[in-house]
Amino acid sequence: MKDENYRAKIGITLGSGAARGWAHIGVLKALEERGICPDIVCGCSMGALIGGFYAASKLDALEEASGSWSKMGMFRMLGRLIFRGGFFDNDGIMKWLRDALGEVMIEDLPVKFGAVAVDLSTGMELWFTEGDLVDAIMASISAPGMLIPYQKKGLLLGDGALANPVPVSLCRALGADIVVAVDLNGERVGRYFGPHWGLPERSGNFTNDDEGQRMPHFLEVLAVSSQIIQTRLTRHRLAADPPDLLISPKVKNIRMLEFDKSSVAIAEGKKAVERNLSAIGELFE
């Protein structure tokens, strides 16, 4: 017999996407404005970062901070150039996260939270559903080649997008009856490089004589290579474990490292919810 007092648990899973991940803020805020507040939030990579701030009730502070990010400021925050295990160490972003979130345990958050990372030694997908929130976020965002692997309990951990870019499976495992997934890579088909890469100019850039275009910086090549893999992997994972509603913000014009375009991404996240109002109404009626 169905319990008349039972309310379906709502879960939202936020996908990877580097700078385009700011769109998650817009999605979450637009859903809240319509009275849809998730009981469970899961994330991968940038989705884990945004989801962690949401679960800790600090999304407004993150949105405000995002407006002050610049390209060079982002690079400075990443940390020192070390060329061992990754291009940057993780001291800068670790300090920023600790200052913003403090010492908070996942199990003490007002909203149930989970993040995905990968054990780089075995390739196994790992789920963080308890323990230190900053540890979980750092493990999930440590993109191989960009940041050094995050070390925890003898493990070398890397970006969860290597295994599960939009972790619907984790959201359901945590008890979600209804899962809304936000995929930031749904539009990424066709050409990945355009005529301008948007990175700071550096001396010694090579030129492709056939195209008359500047050769992209190797960090952008890393980012785009990762993006291609994530796009293909996302399609397979979502086909195997589909959400009840898929929201795909139109953020293809925001490059992976353009963290200074938060306002554009957040606005598009809100628009993506508006485009899905009919489906949202049917799902939550």
Q: Which residue has the higher pLDDT, 194 or 103?
A: 103
Is residue 45 part of the annotated active site? The answer reads yes
**Of the listed ranges 9-23, 154-168, 185-199, the one predicted with least confidence:** 185-199
Strands (E), the chain: 10-14, 40-44, 86-88, 112-119, 125-128, 145-147, 150-152, 155-159, 178-182, 207-208, 213-214, 245-247
Cα 244 to the chain's mean position, in Å? 20
- Binning pLDDT at 50, 70 and 90, where does residue 184 land? very high
Cα 69 to the chain's mean position, in Å? 17
Task: Report which residue type is found at 94.
Answer: M
CA distance 12 to 143: 22
- Binning pLDDT at 50, 70 and 90, where does residue 195 land? very low
Whole-prediction pTM value?
A: 0.85
Output the pLDDT for position 71.
59
**Percentage above 90 pLDDT, the chain:** 57
Residue from 12, 59, 24 nearest 251 by CA: 24
pLDDT at 205 over 50: no
**Of the listed ranges 8-17, 30-39, 53-62, 183-192, the one predicted with least confidence:** 183-192
Is residue 135 part of the annotated active site? The answer reads no
- State the pairing for strand pair 10-14/178-182: parallel
- For residue 48, give both structure tokens: 């884990």
**CATH, domain range 10-199+214-273:** 3.40.1090.10
- Binning pLDDT at 50, 70 and 90, where does residue 197 land? very low
Q: Mean pLDDT in the chain?
A: 84
Over residues 174-181, the mean pLDDT reads 97
Question: Which of these is catalytic: 135, 159, 183, 260?
Answer: 159
CA distance 187 to 44: 18
Q: Helix (H, G, I), strand (E, B), or coil: what is residue 197? A: coil
pLDDT tens digits, residue range 230-248?
778 888 888 889 999 999 9
Q: Where are the domains of the chain?
A: 10-199+214-273
**Of the listed ranges 110-114, 137-141, 174-178, 195-199, the one predicted with least confidence:** 195-199
Q: For the residues of 98-147, what is the DSSP string, one character each?
A: HHHH-S-BGGGSSSEEEEEEEETTT--EEEE-SSBHHHHHHHHH--TEEE
Over residues 159-165, the mean pLDDT reads 92
Euclidean distance between the first and final Cα of the chain, in Å?
21
pLDDT at 227 over 90: no
Question: Which of these is catalytic: 45, 142, 169, 226?
Answer: 45
